[in-house]
Amino acid sequence: MKKTALITTLIITIGLIAFTSVVISSNSDEAKSMRSWFKQTKNQIDPLQIQRYTDECGSCHFPYQPGLLPATSWEQIINNLDDHFGENAELPESQLKSLRNYLLNNAAGRTRYGLPNKIMAAQGDHPLPLRITELRYFLHEHSEIPSKMVQDNPNVKSFSNCDRCHQSARQGLYDEHDVRIPGVGRWDD
Ligand code: HEC
Ligand code: HEC
């Protein structure tokens, strides 16, 4: 009797451990995809940093992932926040340091994953712009979209509003199959 009870307890315990680890691993998969952009999972970015960046730089527009611009461009943006595309986006010095590190460490050209590499390759020796929307890669990818779907579309207004069209932009996924242009629908090219 005692032996059976012991075995039962053992089985239950093993079952519980197995169950818990399944729960934990599926949770951490989710956490991984939150922390990674552009479909890569190796780079572990502190979710707190992402949160801070989103709070500080995502109040006026979509919080562009650091890998969308090279470090030189981010540096210039951070150094001129008082004159930021016609707005004052100044931040206290205490917040600037970690923000600068976050942007520069994860900038295109300093990380290895796909999209930033494509951005750098397409730019070649051409001057680096301040805007993502002026990168050669960006211009090339969006050259077939007429202005009636963008500038003249009250639900989009500007190419700078990535998430209006790219449904998974916040996860750093810009697959063309995930594009829905407001008032137009799925993009079929
Ligand atoms: C006070 C509002 C405001 C805040 C805060 C702000 N921005 Fe901007 N940002 C703008 C405006 C306005 C534009 C120009 C948008 C346009 O042309 O449609 C812009 C454009 C940009 C662009 C270029 C987008 C493109 O067209 O490719 C980048 C990159 C950018 N901001 C980064 C940042 C970063 C990094 C921070 C945080 C340090 C930040 N912004 C905070 C207002 C803001
Ligand atoms: C008006 C809607 C719209 C806006 C706004 C927009 N895009 Fe796009 N984007 C598209 C469409 C449509 C395509 C596919 C174009 C094609 O294949 O001809 C695309 C393609 C892309 C691609 C290539 C995807 C692939 O599968 O090769 C990337 C990367 C991308 N966009 C990033 C961005 C970023 C970053 C922003 C903001 C700075 C942005 N887009 C803003 C509509 C938009």
Question: Could you tell me the two tokens for 34?
Answer: 């939150």
pLDDT digits (tens, 9 = 90+) for 57-110: 999 999 999 999 999 999 999 999 999 999 999 999 999 999 999 999 999 999
Ligand 2 pocket mutation pick from 166, 168, 180, 189 by most atoms within 8 angstroms of CB: 166
Closest CA to 75 of 37, 43, 109: 109
More confident residue, 33 or 154: 154
Please name which ligand lies nearest the alpha carbon of 66: 1
pLDDT in tens, 136-162: 999 999 999 999 999 999 999 999 999
Nearest ligand, measured from the Cα of 178: 2
Q: pTM for the whole thing?
A: 0.85
Domain ranges (residues) in the chain: 43-141, 146-189
pLDDT at 47: 83
The residue whose CA is least distant from atom 17 of ligand 1 is: 160
Nearest-CA residue for atom 39 of ligand 2: 162
Averaged pLDDT, 5-21: 62
